[in-house]
Amino acid sequence: MKRFSAFALLREALRGHADWPPYWRTPEPKSSYDIVIIGGGGHGLATAYYLAKEHGIRNVAVLERGWLGGGNTGRNTTIVRSNYLWEESAALYEHALQLFETLSEALNINVMLSQRGVLNLAHTPGDVREAIRRVHANRLNGIDAEWLDARQVKEFCPIVNVSPDVRYPVLGATLQRRAGVARHDAVAWGYARAADALGVDIIQGCEVTGFDISANRVRGVRTKKGTIAAGRVGIVAAGHNSVLAAMAGVRLPLQSHPLQALVSEPVKPVHNCVVMSNAVHVYVSQSDKGELVMGAGIDAYNSYSQRGSFHVIEHQMAACLELFPIFSRLRMMRSWGGIVDVCPDASPIIGPLPVEGLYMNGGWGTGGFKATPGSGHVFAWTLAKGEPHPLARPFGLARFASGALIDEHGAAAVAH
Amino acid sequence: MLLIRCPWCGPCDETEFRYGGEAHVARPREAQSLDDAAWAEYLFMRNNPRGWFRERWVHAAGCRRWFNVERHTVTHEIRLTYSGTRVDPMSELDRAPSPNSK
């Protein structure tokens, strides 16, 4: 791996940038790996990286049906935060945020983490109670959280409309100052580049079509490029987790929905933080290119189509204009949808499946990007040792029978 | 945007309807005798196919009646709507997929 540095940049600039090597190799699959990871998004690539880096397991393949980071990793609104309600989630998402804080150094790539602060607005007395409860819960778990009243919200984010004369006035907001945004593509590319340098085979255009299972133990995966034997297999396929699990005869409590987002034309810096609102429903930040990045709630129906219905966008725009009248003449450039696998309690499923040797890391629903480093880190531990990482243990499939659900519909902040 | 044909009101815009998830998930008759795994199966486990899917909708801004729809989760094509009281509709449809289906 050719390391990035100011010196390397200068040297390559003098050579006309002709000698930069590709970030990763394009290997053909071997006939056998210690661990096969299905899904070349951020979570799968992070898993592969930590397997090689922290557990010394380098005979690993990441199989990606399309292209690397082309699913939800490249389609999200790039928000990073850890202000979840319950102890289990707080620990997991905070683990991820702390890894994010040193990720650029660890991967030798600029993931452009910008801890500009995330506001979660409250619009009703019920919202206010819920938000203040969450601030206290966060602080008890060592996560930075503050409650701002409407005047303080206006100071922190001058363009937000805090007039009392709107249908859902802003009564206040929670603020996590360490939260913000990161460059989603750089996270995927950085993990891929670092994992590849440690010997991980990243195989794109390799769709999994089934599993070899005998005596209730997974022996390998069948793919469009042939059968690959595997000691352990991790399913990290986001919206398609149910489809893959069904190939192994496993039923999951997941439903796949489209989640839409859109960006405006680029404008000069106008929005200095991230604003999220559950009640009127929109979340908005400004990218480094100047586009306003906005996310919607999920479409109600199940779908694998990576597109949603227009009325969802309409609703989201109405919410945006109520909060930010300044955007009323802004043109929207692009909208798109990703397929998110939503769990009944809005928390992920991490751990072993009923088939021996088969594991999953999914159900991240509408908020997986922020968890990418932590998710990969605990899942690599889980795959390497064959038992759940302590932070992942509460997130096993068994919680649906035991009833120990981790209800994060409030903190997930995206309507579903 | 979906155009959904309500069995009683005819084709209407998706915004008139609310979604009810997978159809034909019957409540167990002897719920009190189930173990935790069987109850979880009823409560939480769902089919989530990439393909034809039978699901429930309610015409919330119309006749307010529930009914079932068979819709393709990739193309969004709807090939059947039927009253929610029918237990197993036209199983032969499974053997004759639409030309648009994958």
Instruction: Render pLDDT for A17-69 as a digit per residue (tens, 0 to 9).
Output: 998 999 999 999 999 999 999 999 999 999 999 999 999 999 999 999 999 99
Nearest residue of A to residue B3, measured between CA atoms: A309
* Rounded CA separation A166/A222 (Å): 57
pLDDT at B96: 40
User: Which position has the token pair 């290997």?
Assistant: A27
CATH of the domain at B50: 3.30.2270.10
Question: Using 50, 70 and 90 to split pLDDT, how confident is the model at B97?
Answer: very low
Contact B36/A254, CB-based, under 8 Å? no
Q: Could you tell me the two tokens for A167?
A: 């249908």
CB A162 within 8 A of CB A171: no
Nearest to A309 among B14, B40, B73 (CB): B14
Q: Residue A410: pLDDT above 90? A: no
Contact B39/A401, CB-based, under 8 Å? yes
pLDDT at B87: 57
Pairing of strands A349-352, A180-181: unpaired
The mean pLDDT value of chain A amounts to 96
Give the residue, A405 or B86, on which the prediction is more confident: A405
What is the extent of the structural domain holding B56? 1-24+46-102
Sequence-distant (≥ 6) Cβ neighbours of residue A173 within 8 angstroms: A119, A120, A121, A122, A131, A147, A148, A153
Residue B80, in any domain of the structure: yes
Among A75-79, A329-333, A409-413, B2-6, which is the least confidently predicted range?
A409-413
Residues of A with Cβ-Cβ distance to B47 under 8 angstroms: 242, 251
Residue B96, in any domain of the structure: yes
* Rounded CA separation A361/A95 (Å): 16
Sequence-distant (≥ 6) Cβ neighbours of residue A197 within 8 angstroms: A1
pLDDT at A414: 73
Which element (helix H / strand E) includes A258? strand A255-264
pLDDT at B50: 97
Residue B36, in any domain of the structure: no
Contact B1/A310, CB-based, under 8 Å? yes
Q: Residue B95: pLDDT above 90? A: no
**Around Cβ A142, how many Cβ atoms within 10 Å?**
10
B 1-30 near A (Cβ less than 8 A): 1-2, 14-15, 18-19, 21
Residues of B with Cβ-Cβ distance to A309 under 8 angstroms: 1-2, 14
Residues of B with Cβ-Cβ distance to A310 under 8 angstroms: 1
- For B55, the 3-state DSSP assignment is strand
Q: What are phi and psi of B76, to 5 degrees?
A: 70, 10
Mean per-residue pLDDT for A335-357?
Answer: 97
Contact B50/A400, CB-based, under 8 Å? no
Contact A254/B48, CB-based, under 8 Å? yes
Nearest residue of A to residue B40, measured between CA atoms: A401
Among A11-25, A49-63, A221-235, A346-360, which is the least confidently predicted range?
A11-25
Q: Residue A273: pLDDT above 70? A: yes
* Rounded CA separation A358/A231 (Å): 9
**pLDDT tens digit sequence for A76-127:** 999 999 999 999 999 999 999 999 999 999 999 999 999 999 999 999 999 9
Mean per-residue pLDDT for B49-54?
Answer: 97
SS3 breakdown of chain A: % helix, strand, coil, rounded to 5? Answer: 35, 25, 40
Residue B33, in any domain of the structure: no
Contact B50/A252, CB-based, under 8 Å? no
Residue B73, in any domain of the structure: yes
Q: What's the pTM? A: 0.94
CB A257 within 8 A of CB A342: yes
Rounded percentage of chain B residues whose pLDDT exceeds 70 = 82
Residue B86, in any domain of the structure: yes
Residue B16, in any domain of the structure: yes
**Around Cβ A9, how many Cβ atoms within 10 Å?**
12
Mean per-residue pLDDT for A167-190?
Answer: 97
**pLDDT tens digit sequence for B23-45:** 999 899 998 999 999 999 999 99
Domain count across chain B = 1
pLDDT at A319: 92
Burial A107-130 (b: 16+ CB within 10 A, else e): bebebbbbbbbbbbbbbeeebbeb
Contact B73/A401, CB-based, under 8 Å? no
B 29-88 near A (Cβ less than 8 A): 36-37, 39-41, 43-50, 53, 55, 71, 73-76
Q: Residue A135: pLDDT above 50? A: yes
Q: Does A306 touch chain B (CB under 8 A)?
A: no
Mean per-residue pLDDT for A203-224?
Answer: 97
Q: Residue A168: pLDDT above 80? A: yes
Question: Using 50, 70 and 90 to split pLDDT, how confident is the model at B83?
Answer: confident
Contact A403/B75, CB-based, under 8 Å? no
Sequence-distant (≥ 6) Cβ neighbours of residue B9 within 8 angstroms: B59, B62, B63
Question: By CB neighbour count within 10 A (0-12 exposed, 13-18 middle, 19+ buried), where does A198 fall?
Answer: middle
pLDDT at A416: 66
Question: By CB neighbour count within 10 A (0-12 exposed, 13-18 middle, 19+ buried), where does B22 fall?
Answer: middle
Residues of A with Cβ-Cβ distance to B39 under 8 angstroms: 401
**pLDDT tens digit sequence for A372-401:** 999 999 999 999 999 999 999 999 999 999
* Rounded CA separation A326/B64 (Å): 39
Mean per-residue pLDDT for A2-20?
Answer: 92
Residue B41, in any domain of the structure: no
Q: Residue B101: pLDDT above 80? A: no
Rounded percentage of chain A residues whose pLDDT exceeds 90 = 95
User: Which position has the token pair 């503050």?
Assistant: A146
